[in-house]
């Protein structure tokens, strides 16, 4: 049986896989499970609920709120706010549970439900499995004064902005920045935070209508941002995804600055201020080889995890580290946040530009980004990848050819019948040639 919860909550097409009925049942089950593990002990339980601007979020929010209140949980409705804002408010308001309705960078027809425990942290797999196992069970319903009460909390956005500004090491005066908000959850708070920090802000895609989220804009569509940065003569561009837990950037010449490069800039900034605990950065196996080389050259330690920001965060907690992230723009700064926070990342990155007086392109050049070729080989038996002698030999030969100038990564997909072939090399043509050759071997050996 397929697990309902994925790596980032429950997702699917709204009103097909993700229905109002499922949202209500999940919320009731979550209230029961968290209550039974002692999270509500000794007090009346309280939850905060936030969402991105998707049209489906309106009815799903209603279902989630109804489920929680019917189970005896008081609910604060935050309205449209980024995922990291909901996580922050879950913590600062002392809520027992946070709920985010968003499908992140996915198109508008999709949506998702993500539960956060006390402190604004993601639920572990054990709790998610327990919630899934309690769906549609019989239960004793509270009545009268024991039912949950619901009220709006419109000041949540302002509290979040104030928190973001409190993290700044210096102001952003003199910087002109273009921000692409993806018609998503941060369309108000992110431009406002940047303006209050001192930047001149040109905000784009800040008119969500419920259907245009991530539509040709945001962190997965950077062409418009690149053009706008050049048109306005801006120092930098910032792009978020629909729930604003990601940040990608563009330098003054319109060149992309990805999550690895942002992570490298922040790592050196924190090292220089003595705030990079253990001189260690956490990232995934997909981190560019050039990033790893740069960290080694700068005397910093790189801890590698599986793909997914939850695995990055787990490693950070286990080691007590304060900086981690992914190439996709999920950057986690645990001194200030419990999850990736696109606006927080943008503020810290631009603060480094302002403090040093150096262009973003120059700061990002701390790492030499190696050409990376990724090929998804579909309709193969991914379960046989680890045992194929033919495939192992082909990978070994490619690695011998690359030496210490690149690397090969074969990664079976966790959700699809495909194997991802990734090759990095100093020469783009060599990377393309080796990736195509390995993809052919995968098809032959596993097809």
Residues with a known catalytic role: 104
Give the distance, in angstroms, between the CA of residue 178 and the centroid of all CA atoms in the same chain. 21
86 neighbors 100 (Cβ within 8 angstroms):
yes
Q: What does each C-alpha distance from 82 to 68, 88, 307 come to in angstroms?
A: 21, 10, 22
Phi and psi torsions of 302, nearest 5°: -115, 120
| Phi–psi pair at 10, nearest 5 degrees | -105, 125
Burial class (CB in 10 A: 0-12, 13-18, 19+), 231: exposed
Widest distance between CA atoms in the chain: 73
- Output DSSP code: residue 129: H
Buried-exposed string 307-318: b where 16+ CB fall within 10 A, e elsewhere: bbbbbbbbbbee
339: DSSP letter: S
N-to-C CA span, the chain: 25
CA distance 82 to 259: 19
CA angle centred on 213, ends 212 and 218, rounded to 5°: 120
Matching residue, tokens 């209140």: 69
Angstrom distance (rounded) from CA 212 to CA 242: 10
- The tokens for 160 are 């979040």
CA distance 310 to 292: 20
Q: Which residue has the tokens 């379960």?
A: 383
CA separation for the pair 269, 355 (Å, rounded): 10
Nearest to 411 by CA among 395, 397, 425, 400: 395
- The closest of 323, 216, 218, 305 to 262, measured between CA atoms, is 323
Rounded CA-CA distance 248/234 in Å is 15
**Token pair in block for residue 382:** 């991914």
């Amino acid at each position: 049986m397929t697990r309902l919860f994925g790596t980032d909550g429950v997702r699917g097409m709204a009103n097909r896989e993700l229905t109002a009925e499922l949202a209500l049942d999940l919320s009731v089950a979550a209230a029961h499970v968290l209550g039974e593990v002692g999270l509500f002990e000794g007090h009346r339980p309280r939850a905060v609920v936030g969402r991105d601007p998707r049209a489906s979020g309106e009815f799903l929010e209603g279902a989630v709120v109804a489920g929680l209140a019917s189970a005896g949980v008081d609910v604060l409705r935050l309205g449209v706010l980024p995922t990291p804002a909901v996580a922050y408010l879950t913590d600062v308001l002392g809520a027992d549970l946070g709920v985010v309705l968003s499908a992140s960078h996915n198109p508008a027809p999709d949506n998702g439900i993500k539960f956060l425990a006390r402190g604004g942290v993601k639920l572990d797999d054990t709790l998610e499995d327990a919630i899934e196992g309690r769906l549609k069970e019989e239960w004793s319903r509270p009545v009268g004064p024991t039912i949950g009460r619901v009220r709006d909390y419109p000041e949540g956005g302002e509290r979040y902005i104030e928190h973001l500004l409190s993290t700044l090491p210096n102001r952003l005066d003199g910087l002109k920045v273009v921000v692409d908000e993806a018609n998503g959850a941060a369309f108000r708070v992110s431009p406002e935070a940047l303006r209050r920090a001192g930047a001149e802000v040109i905000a784009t895609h800040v008119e969500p209508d419920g259907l245009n989220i991530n539509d040709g804009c945001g962190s997965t569509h950077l062409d418009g941002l690149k053009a706008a940065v050049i048109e306005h003569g801006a120092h930098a561009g910032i792009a978020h995804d629909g729930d604003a837990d990601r940040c990608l950037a563009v330098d003054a010449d319109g060149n992309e600055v990805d999550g690895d490069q942002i992570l490298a800039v922040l790592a050196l900034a924190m090292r220089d201020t003595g705030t990079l605990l253990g001189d260690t950065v956490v990232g995934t196996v997909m981190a560019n080889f050039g990033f790893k080389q740069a960290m080694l050259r700068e005397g910093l330690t790189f801890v590698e995890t599986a793909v997914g920001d939850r695995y990055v965060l787990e490693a950070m907690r286990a080691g007590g580290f304060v900086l981690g992230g992914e190439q996709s723009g999920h950057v986690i700064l645990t001194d200030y946040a419990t999850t990736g926070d696109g606006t927080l990342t943008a503020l810290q990155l631009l603060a480094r530009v302002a403090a040093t007086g150096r262009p973003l392109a120059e700061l990002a050049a701390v790492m030499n980004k190696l050409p990376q070729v990724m090929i998804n080989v579909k309709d193969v038996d991914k379960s046989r990848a680890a045992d194929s002698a033919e495939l192992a030999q082909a990978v070994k030969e490619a690695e011998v050819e690359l030496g210490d100038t690149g690397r090969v990564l074969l990664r079976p997909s966790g959700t699809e019948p495909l194997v991802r072939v990734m090759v990095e090399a100093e020469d783009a043509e060599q990377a393309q040639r080796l990736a195509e050759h390995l993809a052919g071997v995968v098809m032959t050996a596993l097809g």
